[in-house]
Structure 1
């Protein structure tokens, strides 16, 4: 079941800035599509529009080719999971999972069989008698998934489902969601601000900014071929360096990279350089063939790599991530000089506000 959003706009005040504006995208059938962006980008509003919890001012929403724009929630065949779980505290796990089926007047035998099936699916077979307050956060979120899936939805809508969980549990549930999707094959729309989450478990990503779609495509395309300066800066934690085209190269902050095909001599450019795309080495002159000698402002070991804040001769600062073994081999400390070499960068002609 594909989800198609066509030119959807939604305002919450008559003259206010739209929460979503002229949004169009398609969530492919059987895939996990992530709505990715910073807070206030319009992601959750868009999910609520697809769910039928909000109605667009203009545009339309189709699920499996059927126009659902003004269809009641109950008729859309969607299962929704929220960050807050939204479980009934006074009901047991079994009763929570059964709730949607009972509202739809399923028989007692059908309800019991389906609840048993869902408990097995989310691996909580022995916890059906417990109340939500007796479960961990990860277990409560699995119950929320089971309740959403119990009604056999056509599509699954997830609004920051792991946002309230600690890092380890969040990582475990990402893998669990991937396995769940492999078993169910449900078309899924996931709202998240976590880049790693979106790139790791999605087959399709819609990057949003200011209520609009900035870029849509595969995780590989979003990461390696950002279409706009915003996407280039948002995905991957890139440093932004400004410069201009000189003698067929992009010169910026004492560094240089290949020039874009459309750039002309003297044009202003912005280069987005990710932390792992700069190679550090022992110093060798101040500026030779695109290399620059910078100064280590500070560094911090983070797991298997070291995060280095490097100040370039121009005064610009860039963040560099270096494998711990490579950093140790450099033998440098704060205040020392190192040579920086940009391995790759995403370059846009012009000077844009990010």
Structure 2
């Protein structure tokens, strides 16, 4: 079987496509014939020379997401021929991942592919789209309705932002997408964004803890100063679902929006999400994410393309979602 293997060379790690034996795979209950994988920011970190602080043991097979068909199973929940998807659980980081033609993982980490989704579509979604759906669900669980006003999506042209924009628009929300790449306005509007907000309008901190009430909700992939600014612009009782830190992990904010406007800051974790929540999110994805919009986000790739794409995503050069056929 072919796989991208990271091996240490001195104090750095280098990726290469190698032929390895199935017997080299780690011990676990379920062996999956991988069909598709994708590229997330974490994949870029894992494929970097130092492993991004995520990879601790070499040799290593990266790839935090994959979808495919069960080949062998020692767990009654899965049988050969079942279609499955995996995201999270530190697969591709602490455990061998999906940048290979086969993977062996714990049954608890898998989710049956919902009706209406193919393995290719599941990887067009991937961790990024799964996280976007979790964020939409969290906003709705905290009272967001489509009549409440505009919903802001920061980092809108990225993987999470693209899927979040398409889902929210499909559900009837008025989406405002934030991007620092004005050339992507047409792309974002094709996904359903009603208007585009230039990144420069939001990435500067202000001294006022509260500004005009503007956003009914927000899915934020940026963090840092932009998140602090957005908190002060939320409508009364509005919620921000925080999914990323592309703009930094520090939060130069005050508690005033929480105390005077009842704003909610909701943390979204996709790695250790319990099975029931995962299953609910994947069913919502199959129902609420328009597949034609998803297809518009896709960049096709092969196993051999992944090292370069992982380097590009760290530089912010990847738009939308990558779908890599590991068999090609």
**TM-score normalised per structure 2:** 0.25
> Relative to total residues, which structure has the larger strand share, 1 or 2?
1
* Bigger relative contact order, structure 1 or 2 (CA pairs below 8 A, ≥6 apart): 2
> Relative to total residues, which structure has the larger helix share, 1 or 2?
2
Which of these two proteins has the greater Rg computed from alpha carbons?
Answer: 1
